[in-house]
């Protein structure tokens, strides 16, 4: 029996005007639900996807990767893609996000790097970048630091404070030691040190020790893409949702697909209109609406909420809803070692380096920066499809022999980096394609800034150098192409002081509708260096504090 | 339990092969192994093709992993869209066989080298394509061609979680072949390189201790 069906759960009537309706139960929504409900506010969380209990999680790769058990399904919710606004978009899967209670935090890698100071003030530091809308955040690292610490302690992050010489200042150490090192981590660490770089134990949102009734990681190996059945992965589902429910003030309502934010004649949000499991439509009334539906679904919902009063979409007087999308840059190199690593055991990443976090544009010839991690995040079937070197046989005796040799001996270096904001890169609504509910589909428009592609090649070159120093038998890099598919969905409802150039203010309040708030990857102003969830969670803790203060001052009931 | 099964199968491999070969030559589709979509005659051809994709050589292959049962169930579950691909593709294979080897009539009865030659002639994508990292939906999209579809199904059926209800990777033999242990949890050290790792130290300390070694 799912937890949602338990009779002791708090329930609200749709006609009841609750304090907050939160759209989405992922990294941000789960934290907002917990923070607001434990502070005494009545909260209804409307989640598109089902309520899947940890006991229903599975190691079945078909279920996860083919049937989208935890994620958006391309048949029910098709997407379209084009490179530039001049083109007509064609049907193509454009994104993966978690579509269940807990959202994408159920299946993430759990790489939990804090942003550094530079990520908030890069525009001031490096100046304007041609072809990019790069600006500073309205908040700084110092504003967010207490909330990063809160994520580490309340959600659960393992790591070693002070291990990286490039780490920004912190007010507290990690609450738990790092996870055990993997073979890939040892090989990476030794080679990086030969090159004079500074590898360190990866900060991971996975418990290295039992905590808050949750198990420590058992190193099962089905991590990235999969839900954690022992609750060691610090998803919203494992860490925050249970506390929200326990407060007695929060109802998590799954299978509730919000498609419109309702507004009254004064232009204030009155609630969220949603389809239930049987496609019946309901309006959940609320004093304030928070949308944490991710950097694609949040702008889509605002655009779908266009009305007579707001013909271009809700909270879109800037015209920037959905724009300035950033996916993060990545480059993947693979090595085959002489001896077995058995890197399929455990979580994905155990060692990271940040020596390239801030690069000198005059020296490298592009703007941006990134980090490298050592990992193996690919499960058996995925490995058979894409884990062997280029030019390998695809079937038959030699294919089988190579699979048998390489599976235990392979690991990857994953380079992660900045994407520069470009206004044309966006999620919008497709004029023709509809989803299974008859709603306009998400349309992706994306073309990497030239500097992003240069950065990807530059990171791949560093990975190759490092792999050369490991003494690997063989190594190669996956082709680096322009991206047309995303999992990090950032920047589409950017935060800022000026209503003309941003969608929300530093309190996550939309500039146009003062009881409508947005908090997720869409709130980002810059992309960071490729690990957004830690910052999404920190922003959510901070947003909850801001909302509590606004509510106390009566500013939500104006 | 699954661990013991897989280890046993690997250790006793020659005997298992001999038994399987015998059972195979005995012809009729075993009554105990119910099919949900394929006819027994089709199943025999599918099994023969999958056995070319992952052969039984020194270690178990697609045949022993029960890939044909995985495919049969796939065709009524997540790959129901591919029923036509199989219904139309299987006769094409026979035609191709007869075209290349006019004396042969049934793929599953042809000599292994003839079977491989038929599949090579169908493998248009060849082995020259660099692999792409599959993010999701690795089976959709390659379905245009019967060979691509059955190749994808065979790989998946050989390596699927043996505890799932998909009927593939029977006894965990596929995982045993690639060295993936079936346990649900592991303790470090995991492999060769992390054995004896002394623990993380700052770079300066690591340099110092290396000097003293």
Using CA atoms in the order A368, A374, A378, A379, what is the torsion angle rounded to 10 degrees?
-160
SS3 for A552? Answer: helix
- Chain B residue numbers with beta carbons less than 8 Å from the beta carbon of A200 are 200
Residue of B nearest to A178 (CA): B200
pLDDT digits over A220-272, tens only? Answer: 999 999 999 999 999 999 999 999 999 999 999 999 999 999 999 999 999 99
DSSP 8-class letter at A155: I
- Chain B residue numbers with beta carbons less than 8 Å from the beta carbon of A389 are 131
- Chain B residue numbers with beta carbons less than 8 Å from the beta carbon of A404 are 59, 177-179
In a domain, B158, yes or no: yes
| Confidence at residue B213, expressed as pLDDT on a 0 to 100 scale | 46
In a domain, B205, yes or no: no
Poorest-pLDDT segment among A20-34, A88-102, B109-123: B109-123
| Confidence at residue B28, expressed as pLDDT on a 0 to 100 scale | 64
Residue A171 has pLDDT above 90, yes or no: yes
SS3 for A507? Answer: coil
pLDDT digits over B85-95, tens only? Answer: 999 889 888 98
Q: Are A495 and A525 in contact (CB under 8 A)?
A: yes
Q: What is the mean pLDDT of residues A454-476?
A: 98
Percent of chain B predicted with pLDDT > 70: 73
In a domain, B202, yes or no: no
For residue B33, give its domain range.
2-188
Question: Which of A319, A473, A489, A500 lies closest to A411 in space, CA to CA?
Answer: A473
- Chain B residue numbers with beta carbons less than 8 Å from the beta carbon of A96 are 135-136
CA angle, A313 then A317 then A319, to 5°: 75
Here the ipTM equals 0.95
| Confidence at residue B141, expressed as pLDDT on a 0 to 100 scale | 34
Residue A1 has pLDDT above 50, yes or no: no
Q: Which residue has the tokens 């004079």?
A: A196
HSE value, Cβ hemisphere, 13 Å, CA-based, for A31:
31
- Chain B residue numbers with beta carbons less than 8 Å from the beta carbon of A381 are 138, 155-156, 159-160
SS3 for B49? Answer: helix
| Confidence at residue B122, expressed as pLDDT on a 0 to 100 scale | 79
Q: What is the DSSP string of A417-459?
A: E-----TT-EEEEEEEEE-TTSPEEEEEE----HHHHHHHHHH
Residue A273 has pLDDT above 50, yes or no: yes
pLDDT digits over A368-383, tens only? Answer: 999 999 999 999 999 9
Percent of chain A predicted with pLDDT > 70: 98
Residue B10 has pLDDT above 50, yes or no: no
In a domain, B212, yes or no: no
Residue A512 has pLDDT above 60, yes or no: yes
- Chain B residue numbers with beta carbons less than 8 Å from the beta carbon of A474 are none
Q: What is the mean pLDDT of residues A305-315?
A: 96
| Confidence at residue B135, expressed as pLDDT on a 0 to 100 scale | 42
Name the β-bridge partners of A272. Answer: A261, A284
Question: Which of A264, A307, A314, A312 lies closest to A293 in space, CA to CA?
Answer: A314
Establish, for the pair of chains A and B, how many residue pairs have beta carbons separated by less than 8 Å: 195
What is the separation of C-alpha A115 from the centre of its chain, rounded to a whole number of angstroms? 14
| Confidence at residue A6, expressed as pLDDT on a 0 to 100 scale | 55
Phi-psi region of A132 (alpha: psi -120 to 50; beta: other; left: phi over 0): beta
pLDDT digits over B15-49, tens only? Answer: 544 544 544 444 567 766 789 999 999 999 999 99
Gap from A395 CA to chain B (nearest CA, Å): 5
Across the interface, do A62 and B151 touch by the CB < 8 Å criterion? no
Gap from A449 CA to chain B (nearest CA, Å): 22
Q: Which residue has the higher pLDDT, A342 or B147?
A: A342
In a domain, B81, yes or no: yes
Helix ranges, A166-276 (H): 183-194, 236-239, 241-246
Confidence bin at A197 (pLDDT 50/70/90): very high
Gap from A144 CA to chain B (nearest CA, Å): 27
User: Quick check: bond before B96 cis, omega within 30?
Assistant: no
| Confidence at residue B27, expressed as pLDDT on a 0 to 100 scale | 53
Confidence bin at A8 (pLDDT 50/70/90): confident
Across the interface, do B54 and A395 touch by the CB < 8 Å criterion? yes
Q: Are A202 and A531 in contact (CB under 8 A)?
A: no
What are the CB-based long-range contacts (under 8 Å, 24+) for A87-90? A89/A430, A89/A443, A89/A444, A89/A445
Q: Which of A165, A355, A384 to mutate to test the interface with B (most CBs of B within 10 A)?
A: A384
Residue of B nearest to A189 (CA): B200
DSSP 8-class letter at A164: S
Name the β-bridge partners of A415. Answer: A331, A372
Please state, rounded to an integer, the average pLDDT across all residues of chain B.
Answer: 81
| Confidence at residue A557, expressed as pLDDT on a 0 to 100 scale | 67
Q: Are B169 and B175 in contact (CB under 8 A)?
A: yes
SS3 for A517? Answer: strand
Residue of A nearest to B52 (CA): A396
Q: What is the DSSP string of A37-79?
A: HHTT--EEEE-SS----GGG----HIIIIIS-SSB--TTTS-E
Using CA atoms in the order A85, A88, A93, A94, what is the torsion angle rounded to 10 degrees?
0
| Number of structural domains chain B divides into | 1
pLDDT digits over B104-156, tens only? Answer: 999 999 999 999 998 888 776 554 444 444 444 444 333 337 898 999 999 99
Phi and psi at residue A71, to the nearest 5°:
-130, 170
Query: How many Å is the Cα radius of gyration of chain A?
Result: 23
How many other C-beta atoms can be found within 10 angstroms of the C-beta atom of residue B145? Answer: 15
- State which H helix or E strand residue A414 sits in: strand A410-417
Q: Assign domain A1-80+90-108+113-156+235-313+492-558 to a CATH class.
A: alpha beta
pLDDT digits over A215-234, tens only? Answer: 999 999 999 999 999 999 99
| Confidence at residue A198, expressed as pLDDT on a 0 to 100 scale | 98
Segments making up each domain of chain A, as ranges: 1-80+90-108+113-156+235-313+492-558
Confidence bin at A10 (pLDDT 50/70/90): very high
Confidence bin at B203 (pLDDT 50/70/90): confident
| Confidence at residue B144, expressed as pLDDT on a 0 to 100 scale | 39
Across the interface, do A386 and B134 touch by the CB < 8 Å criterion? yes
In a domain, B196, yes or no: no
Across the interface, do A408 and B206 touch by the CB < 8 Å criterion? no
Q: What is the mean pLDDT of residues A479-507?
A: 97
- Chain B residue numbers with beta carbons less than 8 Å from the beta carbon of A60 are 160-161, 164, 166
Across the interface, do A392 and B131 touch by the CB < 8 Å criterion? yes
pLDDT digits over A38-75, tens only? Answer: 999 999 999 999 999 999 999 999 999 999 999 999 99
Residue A539 has pLDDT above 70, yes or no: yes
């Amino acid at each position: 029996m799912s937890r949602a069906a338990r009779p002791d759960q708090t329930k609200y009537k749709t006609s009841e005007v609750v304090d907050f309706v939160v759209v989405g139960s992922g990294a941000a929504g789960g934290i907002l639900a917990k923070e607001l409900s434990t502070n005494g506010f009545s909260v209804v969380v409307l989640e598109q996807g089902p309520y899947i209990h940890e006991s229903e999680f599975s190691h079945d790769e078909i279920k996860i990767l083919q049937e989208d058990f935890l994620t958006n399904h391309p048949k029910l919710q098709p997407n379209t893609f084009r490179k530039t606004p001049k083109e007509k978009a064609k049907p193509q899967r454009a994104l993966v996000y978690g579509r269940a209670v807990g959202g994408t935090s159920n299946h993430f890698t759990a790489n939990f790097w804090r942003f550094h100071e530079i990520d908030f003030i890069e525009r001031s530091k490096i100046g304007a970048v041609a072809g990019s809308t790069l600006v500073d955040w309205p908040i700084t690292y110092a504003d967010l630091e207490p909330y990063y610490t809160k994520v580490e302690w309340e959600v659960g992050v393992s790591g070693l404070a002070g291990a990286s010489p490039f780490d920004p200042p912190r007010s507290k150490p990690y609450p738990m030691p790092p996870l055990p090192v993997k073979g890939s981590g040892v090989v990476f660490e030794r080679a990086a040190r030969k090159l004079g770089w500074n590898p360190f134990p990866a900060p991971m949102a996975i418990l290295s020790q039992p905590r808050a009734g949750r198990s420590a990681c058992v190193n099962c190996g089905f991590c990235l893409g999969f839900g954690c059945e022992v609750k060691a992965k610090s998803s919203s589902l494992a860490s925050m949702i249970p506390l929200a429910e326990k407060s007695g003030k929060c109802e998590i309502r799954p299978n509730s697909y919000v498609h419109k934010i309702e507004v009254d004649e004064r232009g204030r949000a009155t609630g969220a209109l949603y389809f239930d499991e049987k496609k019946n439509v309901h309006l959940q009334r609320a004093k304030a609406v928070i949308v944490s539906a991710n950097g694609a679904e949040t702008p889509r919902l605002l655009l779908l909420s266009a009305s007579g009063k707001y013909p271009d979409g809700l909270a879109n007087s800037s015209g920037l809803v959905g724009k300035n999308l950033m996916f993060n840059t990545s480059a993947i190199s693979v090595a085959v070692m002489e001896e077995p690593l058995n890197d399929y055991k455990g979580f994905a990443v155990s060692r990271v380096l940040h020596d390239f976090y801030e690069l000198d544009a005059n020296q490298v010839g592009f703007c941006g920066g990134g980090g490298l991690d050592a990992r193996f995040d690919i499960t058996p079937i995925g490995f058979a499809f894409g884990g062997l070197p280029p030019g390998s046989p695809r079937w038959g005796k030699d294919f089988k022999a190579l699979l048998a040799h390489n599976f235990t001996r392979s690991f990857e270096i994953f380079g992660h980096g900045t994407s520069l904001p470009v206004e044309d890169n966006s999620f919008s609504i497709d004029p023709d394609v509809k989803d299974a509910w008859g709603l306009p589909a998400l349309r992706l428009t994306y073309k990497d800034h030239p500097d992003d592609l240069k950065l990807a090649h530059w990171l791949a070159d560093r990975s190759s150098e490092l792999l050369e120093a490991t003494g690997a038998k063989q190594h190669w890099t996956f082709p680096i192409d322009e991206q047309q598919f995303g999992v990090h969905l950032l920047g589409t409802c950017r935060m800022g002081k000026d209503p003309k150039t941003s969608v929300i203010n530093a309190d996550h309040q939309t500039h146009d509708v003062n009881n409508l708030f947005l908090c997720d990857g869409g709130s980002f102003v810059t992309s960071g260096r490729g690990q957004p969830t830690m910052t999404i969670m920190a922003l959510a803790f901070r947003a909850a504090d801001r909302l509590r203060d606004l509510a106390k001052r009566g500013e939500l009931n104006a | 339990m699954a661990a013991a099964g897989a280890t046993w199968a690997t250790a006793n491999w020659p005997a298992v092969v001999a038994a399987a070969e015998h059972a195979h030559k005995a012809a009729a589709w075993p009554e105990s192994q119910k099919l949900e979509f394929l006819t027994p005659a089709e199943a025999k051809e599918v099994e023969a093709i999958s056995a070319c994709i992952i052969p039984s050589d020194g270690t178990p292959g697609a045949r022993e992993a029960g890939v044909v049962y995985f495919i049969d169930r796939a065709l009524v579950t997540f790959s129901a869209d591919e029923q036509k691909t199989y219904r139309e593709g299987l006769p094409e294979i026979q035609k191709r066989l007869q075209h290349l080897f006019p004396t042969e009539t049934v793929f599953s009865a042809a000599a292994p080298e003839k079977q491989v030659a038929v599949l090579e002639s169908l493998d248009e994508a060849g082995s020259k394509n660099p692999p792409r990292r599959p993010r999701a939906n690795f089976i959709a999209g390659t379905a245009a061609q019967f060979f691509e579809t059955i190749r994808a199904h065979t790989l998946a059926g050989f390596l699927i979680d043996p505890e799932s209800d998909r009927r593939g990777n029977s006894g965990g033999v596929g995982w045993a072949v690639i060295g993936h242990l079936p346990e649900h949890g592991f303790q470090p050290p995991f492999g060769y390189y992390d054995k004896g790792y002394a623990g993380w130290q700052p770079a300066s300390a690591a340099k110092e201790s290396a000097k003293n070694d």
